[in-house]
Amino acid sequence: MQKFFGAKPTAARKALLLGAGFVVNPTLTLLSEAGVEVTVACRTLESAKQICEAVRNANPISLDVQDEAALDAEVEKVDVVISLIPYTYHPLVIKSAIRKKVHVVTSSYISPAIAELEKEIQDAGITVMNEIGLDPGIDHLGAIKIIDEVHKASGKILSFKSFCGGLPAPEASANPLGYKFSWSARGMLLALGNTARFYQDGHIKEVPGPELMSVAQPYETEHRGYAFVAYPNRDSTPFREKYQIPEAQTIIRGTLRYAGFPQVIRCIVDMGFLSQDTQDFLQHSSTPLPWKEATAKILNATSSSEQDLIQAIDSKHSFADTDKKDRTAEKKRIIAGLRWIGLFSDDPITPRSTPLDTLCATLEKKMAYEDDERDLVFLQHRFEIEHQDGKRETRTSTLVDYGDPKGYSAMAKLVGIPCGVAVLQVLDGKLSKGLLAPYTPEICDPLRAELEKRGITMKEETVA
């Protein structure tokens, strides 16, 4: 069991931890070391038992959060519920917590469905703490620190850009996408369909999801060993208010990937592989189609020969990228990538009803982490600051962290540990009641201090 120094035993308190994902273990370990009695609930008892194995103060149970009576029965036994299940289920958990007057912590954004519960949360006198993982979470803690310092010195934040990537370490990135999955391939691919909105030079810009990869640009960082590209992610415009930077003319939050990723994804999108439409030929079968035939049907190609498949791709996708590279070389690279995935092969598909889910089944097999491989998290804020005397400064705040093949991945640690720290603060009564997220120094400063004790910190530098 991996140790995170700084946890101190407390009086016996109880928590219900919902989830079976990779971030659960670091959260459980931290709480166990602090003496918190944790009930780990998964849909299957076997999953919960595996998580609890060799962990003190951990009790596995089977629980379906959609069973209101069963959920209420477990919630009323504890002091706090940690919801690390998909965000769509958080409102069910919070409603149960309201009924039983129990606190809640999640690592997810405050969704509209959660926001609608704010008055009920206040009336119940409970704390519902959200957005305390990596992104969102650690990113907020680093941003609020610098924004608060600049404002206290009567300065202005003219521009705020924040990009985060969960990636394989460079030595583990040798595939056409430069990417591996430590979580759902479906979630990653669906995120590519979200429209991006952001402020740029005082104006709101909007990029529809299908065009997202077309606006990806090389990301210049002082860390010269990385070849990143960056693209905007979802809606950044609310952060002008959330971060209290009305003076900022540019506000962009986005995602980092390795160079080459956008071009391959653009081709996959144009081929129709992000479709969620159910197809008869992708249904479960004792004799599933070979990939080349499934690809031919998705493309409406004249045959399943590689030549005809490539011709069909040519009719749907332009291989000339934004950097004006040689079209032939770029096409060769992307086609080689599709071949590597297996889309032109005789290998049988794993049918999952839709093009998206059937592709995900293959990607999750071909692009999984090997036992000896590690992941990388790179998070960087870039501030353009105008000081009271008119002088300007470019300041960065950066987190670089690698996973441990014999322990936790960087992503698991950097989501799970902040969540666990927030749970301890809730149990210690250090957070106020109500619907919360880390957007103020009063919330952020103590959380950041606790994470620094555990070796999780963002490094600040003036670069211009």
Query: Which one from 135, 139, 357, 401 is the annotated catalytic residue?
Result: 135
CA 201 from chain center: how many Å? 27
What the block records as the tokens of 125 is: 């006198």
Q: What angle do CA 260, 394, 323 make, to 5 degrees?
A: 25
Strand blocks (E) in 51-178: 58-62, 80-83, 103-106, 127-129, 156-168
Residue 348: DSSP 8-state: B
CA atoms 276, 278, 281, 284: torsion sign: positive
CB 113 within 8 A of CB 83: no
Percentage helix, strand, coil, to 5, in the chain? 40, 25, 40
Closest of 10, 60, 4 to residue 424, by C-alpha: 10
Please tell me whether residue 385 adopts helix, strand or coil conformation: strand
- As a whole number of Å, the end-to-end CA separation of the chain is 43
Q: How far apart are CA 272 and CA 249, in angstroms?
A: 37
CB 388 within 8 A of CB 156: no
Q: In terms of DSSP H, where are the helices of 288-440?
A: 291-299, 306-316, 327-341, 355-366, 410-427
- Tell me whether residue 135 is one of the annotated catalytic residues: yes
What the block records as the tokens of 455 is: 């070796």
Q: Which residue has the tokens 């934040």?
A: 157
Q: How far apart are CA 294 and CA 183, in angstroms?
A: 25
Q: Which residue has the tokens 């005789």?
A: 346
Backbone angles phi, psi at 114, to 5 degrees: -75, -40
b/e map 419-451, b = 16+ CB within 10 Å:
bbbbbbbbbeeebeeebbbbbebebbebbbebb
Name, in order, each residue with C-beta under 8 angstroms of 432's C-beta and a sequence gap of 6 or more. Answer: 127
Please tell me whether residue 144 adopts helix, strand or coil conformation: helix
Q: Which helix (H) or strand (E) holds 33?
A: helix 24-33
Please tell me whether residue 248 adopts helix, strand or coil conformation: coil
Cα torsion 437, 442, 447, 450 to 10°: value is -170
Q: What amino acid positions are annotated as catalytic residues?
A: 135
